[in-house]
Amino acid sequence: MNWYVVNITGGFEQKIKNTIETTDELRNKWTKVIVPVISKKKFYKDRLYNYAEKLYPGYVFISCKDEDYDAVFSVVSGLPGILNMSSMKNVRCIEKRIDENEMLSVLDLISNSKSGHSNDNEKNIFIDDRVKVVDGPFSNFQGIIQDIHKASNKETKVKVCTSFFNSEVTTIVIPLSQVELLN
């Protein structure tokens, strides 16, 4: 299987992916069509939200066999919104495919994002994760993240549910920098 990039009008990645997948002439020709996205988190109005960010806006990736390339390209190039079908390194060259190592790195990025491993500099701490307090007056206590808050221009704070000295469960709000994820 070889991977090819289809350069399309921005914002129509999912629509073109669906069109390619449902075109009768291509039903037995292509093996996989993807729009590479990674999972991201952002704070909005003091809440943490998950969303999908496109790795390559304006591009759809298609894998097909060498013998099917001409048939696939002739159909795909005629679809509305298609700008060019090419390799990643040489956008103007239609006959070249994406380097296998290059595509493997794209697929790795996608799979790491789905499994929750991110390359962001932020801590990957989520609600219901077990954490240990590593700094401040509550140092060495363990607990469970109940909520995550980020106020504008302030440090991210987490609400941790813990128990002090084998007593009742207590909730503390501390900076995110003072906790570390437990395995």
* CATH of residue 159: 2.30.30.30
Q: What is the pLDDT of residue 114?
A: 64
Look up the domain containing 155 and give its range.
Answer: 130-181
Q: What is the pLDDT of residue 94?
A: 41
Query: What's the structural domain count of the chain?
Result: 2
Q: Which residues have C-beta within 8 Å of that of residue 9, sequence separation ≥ 6? A: 58, 81, 83
What is the Cα–Cα distance from 182 to 179, expressed in whole angstroms?
A: 9
- Of the three residues 66, 84, 114, the one that is the final residue of a domain is 114
Q: What is the pLDDT of residue 24?
A: 81
76 shares its domain with 104 = yes
101 shares its domain with 66 = yes
Q: What does pTM read for this prediction?
A: 0.56
What is the Cα–Cα distance from 42 to 77, expressed in whole angstroms?
A: 36
38 shares its domain with 96 = yes
8 shares its domain with 77 = yes
pLDDT < 70 positions in the chain: 30-31, 43-47, 84-97, 113-123, 151-153, 165-167
What is the Cα–Cα distance from 19 to 78, expressed in whole angstroms?
A: 12
Q: What is the pLDDT of residue 30?
A: 64
Q: At 156, phi and psi to the nearest 5?
A: -65, 135
53 shares its domain with 15 = yes
Taking only the tens place, the pLDDT of each residue in 124-166 is 778 888 999 988 888 888 899 998 887 666 778 889 998 876 6
Q: What is the pLDDT of residue 84?
A: 67
161 shares its domain with 135 = yes
159 shares its domain with 102 = no
Whether residue 30 contacts residue 74, with contact meaning beta carbons closer than 8 Å, is answered with no
